[in-house]
Chain A
């Protein structure tokens, strides 16, 4: 599988930070944080071709390496890129959020336990089964067949 070039890596980091910036209010890092970004790059996998196309498109919009343009240009270009949509945008969203939302700090800020689902699992309340009473009272309504 192909890797990202240095320029592509810089641009992707820039995109990640623009997509999900750090937030002091929520005590979370941005998606361009060292640890998270390393995870993003390592996890591109099946999306590599679309990610490269996305970065190529952004460079094209920017008229240069996307990461090297000023913030105002980058914001305009991102706006155009998002408006165009498509599989490249979906791939960028996917590779960033699939790593961002498993980071310890982010999970903690969302009130989640910082662990995989297995083996502890989760609690799901039984709920109020008396809600079923009106349906129980209903006569059978499936069609009889001859």
Chain B
């Protein structure tokens, strides 16, 4: 048996890094167990000419296609949307685009304002200082003064508008609709020892320059310097409990596949909206026959993705094409609820610049715009570097039938049951997606696009994983309390996207990390009475 530690954190992704760093100042003995590896800057695809091919292979965002040793399989047969993630130090932030919007104040009051879902047990004001601290640790580029938000102050100037941004902004201005440079976790200038962005291309293969704030280069170096131990290639199977119903530690498989038991005073889960319920459900005992922390029966339920629609157009003028970063501008014209639209809640548009040469061919051929044969070359040249567009990120409402369970057959390489996702798209989401496509088409027309297309739902776009161990004050309606502690097991905490009560219509990571800092702060303030 290994030596007992004060805190074991499971998962070294976005939230794991933030909670580790914040707790490090307590000088407690903290160990983090992460199933994946560190990624070296020289490993990233943009180091080579085959960068797009590698994004389709070992850097693919689908764990089932990537299928590295460090990945676990996911049964997605009953899901309208497929999961996207990365398993390694940095977690999903290794591949994320770095869109870094905060929630709006109204996102925490969904039941009170719109009569759907539930209110959060905390509000924007509570999280605001943690948003600010997280922005500083991460390094956010953007512009103050966005009328869609309460005041906030990014650290660095916005990423360039570029040709694509300017074209789209003109269209939005013609319609009189809101847009603003995106808050991005990408350094537009050198920041805290990290080099500024050099427009390598598309950020979702990982950033060789280190301009994109993945948590392996933001929180983790600081946490490790402050004394946290990070063990890679350690895959946790279950959380164990003692005779008092408290967590006693975790069982994991080390790099050699050997089973280990790590005893701990406190267990913190940071494995994301799929990985966390998977471990909870797999931690069964006589006292917790349906999995640990699950007296509410809500572990794994209320899974939310953000349904995404893609709307794109081709222009006579040249766009930014393969020159990045992908992030550019966003619009929140349709963010807040307007009942006349036929759905509740709303969505954000995030505008993309263009595509690399391989993606341009794949998408052009996939939609029949680029043929096989003689005509291929002319058709390709008309489209390459002439495309730009947007995605509409729709708020997904929690529904208990959308859920993570344990697959009875599928297992990972250590024999741990794999998660199975059951997810259907709601009528509200469908209407919102249709609205996003219709209005997005208007934007593109106003911007001068001559050939407009759309994907009604990005099927492999399940990159935001939320809601499967929600926070709340009522133990019957939530898994953890308003500061992240399990209602049932008083030394078990959750800090990742599972906590979300609702999903908002923006990317979640900035809120996930702010929540992790908030939970850590609450733990620090209560150290003497943490288990009361």
A interface residues (Cβ-Cβ under 8 A, vs B): 18-21, 23, 25-26, 28, 43, 45-46, 78, 82, 90, 93-94, 97-102, 107, 110, 112, 115-129, 131-132, 134-136, 138-146
Give chain A nearest CB distance to B185 CB in angstroms.
18
User: In the complex where A43-B53, A134-B173, A142-B106 touch, is A121 in contact with B200 (Cβ < 8 A)?
Assistant: yes
Partner of A90 from B112, B160, B197, B366 at Cβ < 8 Å: B366
- The 21 listed contacts between A and B (C-beta, < 8 Å) are A19-B372, A78-B372, A90-B366, A93-B361, A100-B361, A102-B50, A102-B357, A116-B51, A117-B200, A117-B208, A119-B208, A121-B209, A124-B160, A125-B163, A126-B160, A126-B161, A129-B161, A131-B166, A132-B180, A139-B147, A145-B106
User: Could you say which residues of chain B place their CB within 8 Å of the CB of A126?
Assistant: 160-162
Interface contact B323-A122, CB-CB below 8 Å:
yes
Q: Which of B137-166 contact A (CB under 8 A)?
A: 143, 145, 147-150, 160-163, 165-166
User: In the complex where A107-B357, A141-B148, A142-B150 touch, is A127 in contact with B336 (Cβ < 8 A)?
Assistant: no
Interface contact B52-A128, CB-CB below 8 Å:
no
In Å, the complex CA distance between A119 and B47 comes to 7
Nearest opposing residue in chain A for B357, CB measure: A101
User: Could you say which residues of chain B place their CB within 8 Å of the CB of A102?
Assistant: 49-50, 52-53, 357-358
Nearest opposing residue in chain A for B65, CB measure: A46
Interface contact A127-B162, CB-CB below 8 Å:
yes
User: Could you say which residues of chain A place their CB within 8 Å of the CB of B201?
Assistant: 117, 122
Listed from nearest, the 8 A-B pairs whose CB atoms lie closest are: A127-B161, A121-B198, A97-B361, A122-B323, A101-B357, A98-B53, A143-B106, A117-B200
Nearest opposing residue in chain A for B335, CB measure: A142
Partner of A46 from B57, B123, B335, B377 at Cβ < 8 Å: B57
Can you name 18 extra interface pairs (CB under 8 A) apart from A21-B376, A122-B198? A18-B373, A20-B377, A23-B377, A26-B377, A93-B362, A102-B53, A117-B200, A118-B46, A127-B165, A127-B166, A128-B166, A129-B161, A131-B169, A136-B147, A140-B147, A140-B149, A145-B109, A146-B112
In Å, the complex CA distance between A120 and B48 comes to 12
Interface contact B52-A138, CB-CB below 8 Å:
no
User: Could you say which residues of chain A place their CB within 8 Å of the CB of B161?
Assistant: 125-129, 131
Interface contact A43-B50, CB-CB below 8 Å:
yes
Interface contact A99-B47, CB-CB below 8 Å:
no
Interface contact A122-B178, CB-CB below 8 Å:
no
Interface contact A135-B179, CB-CB below 8 Å:
yes
User: Could you say which residues of chain A place their CB within 8 Å of the CB of B50?
Assistant: 43, 98, 102
In Å, the complex CA distance between A46 and B57 comes to 7
Nearest opposing residue in chain B for A85, CB measure: B366
User: Could you say which residues of chain A place their CB within 8 Å of the CB of B198?
Assistant: 119-122
Interface contact A21-B67, CB-CB below 8 Å:
no
User: Could you say which residues of chain A place their CB within 8 Å of the CB of B113?
Assistant: 143, 145
Render B50-87 as a binary contact track against A, CB cut-off 8 A, 1 for contact. 11110011000000010100000000000000000000
Of listed A21, A82, A116, A123, residue having the most chain B CB within 10 A: A116
Interface contact B170-A118, CB-CB below 8 Å:
no
Nearest opposing residue in chain A for B123, CB measure: A145
In Å, the complex CA distance between A142 and B104 comes to 7
Partner of B147 from A110, A116, A138 at Cβ < 8 Å: A138
Interface contact B200-A93, CB-CB below 8 Å:
no
User: In the complex where A122-B201, A141-B147 touch, is A112 in contact with B106 (Cβ < 8 A)?
Assistant: no
B interface residues (Cβ-Cβ under 8 A, vs A): 44, 46-53, 56-57, 65, 67, 104-106, 108-109, 112-113, 123-124, 143, 145, 147-150, 160-163, 165-166, 169-170, 173, 176, 178-181, 197-201, 208-209, 320, 322-324, 335-336, 353, 357-358, 360-362, 365-366, 372-374, 376-377, 381, 384
Partner of A125 from B147, B160, B322 at Cβ < 8 Å: B160
Interface contact A115-B145, CB-CB below 8 Å:
no
User: In the complex where A43-B53, A101-B361, A146-B112 touch, is A25 in contact with B377 (Cβ < 8 A)?
Assistant: yes
User: Could you say which residues of chain A place their CB within 8 Å of the CB of B366?
Assistant: 90, 93
Give chain A nearest CB distance to B481 CB in angstroms.
21
In Å, the complex CA distance between A144 and B107 comes to 11
Give chain B nearest CB distance to A105 CB in angstroms.
12
In Å, the complex CA distance between A73 and B109 comes to 64
Interface contact B148-A142, CB-CB below 8 Å:
yes
Interface contact A21-B373, CB-CB below 8 Å:
yes
Nearest opposing residue in chain B for A18, CB measure: B372
Interface contact A123-B374, CB-CB below 8 Å:
no
User: Could you say which residues of chain A place their CB within 8 Å of the CB of B109?
Assistant: 145-146
Nearest opposing residue in chain A for B47, CB measure: A118
In Å, the complex CA distance between A100 and B322 comes to 16
Give chain A nearest CB distance to B386 CB in angstroms.
12
Interface contact A97-B336, CB-CB below 8 Å:
no
User: Could you say which residues of chain B place their CB within 8 Å of the CB of A23?
Assistant: 374, 377
User: Could you say which residues of chain B place their CB within 8 Å of the CB of A146?
Assistant: 109, 112
User: Could you say which residues of chain B place their CB within 8 Å of the CB of A101?
Assistant: 52, 357-358, 360-361
Of listed A128, A141, A142, A146, residue having the most chain B CB within 10 A: A142
Of listed B166, B358, B372, B374, residue having the most chain A CB within 10 A: B372
User: Could you say which residues of chain A place their CB within 8 Å of the CB of B166?
Assistant: 127-128, 131
Nearest opposing residue in chain A for B320, CB measure: A124
Interface contact A127-B199, CB-CB below 8 Å:
no
Give chain A nearest CB distance to B159 CB in angstroms.
8
User: Could you say which residues of chain A place their CB within 8 Å of the CB of B376?
Assistant: 19-21
Give chain B nearest CB distance to A110 CB in angstroms.
7
In Å, the complex CA distance between A139 and B320 comes to 31
User: Could you say which residues of chain B place their CB within 8 Å of the CB of A145?
Assistant: 105-106, 108-109, 112-113, 123-124
Nearest opposing residue in chain B for A112, CB measure: B357
User: In the complex where A20-B372, A118-B46 touch, is A124 in contact with B162 (Cβ < 8 A)?
Assistant: yes
In Å, the complex CA distance between A20 and B381 comes to 13
Nearest opposing residue in chain A for B177, CB measure: A135
Interface contact A94-B56, CB-CB below 8 Å:
yes
Interface contact A121-B199, CB-CB below 8 Å:
yes
User: In the complex where A82-B372, A128-B166, A145-B123 touch, is A122 in contact with B106 (Cβ < 8 A)?
Assistant: no
Partner of B173 from A124, A131, A141 at Cβ < 8 Å: A131
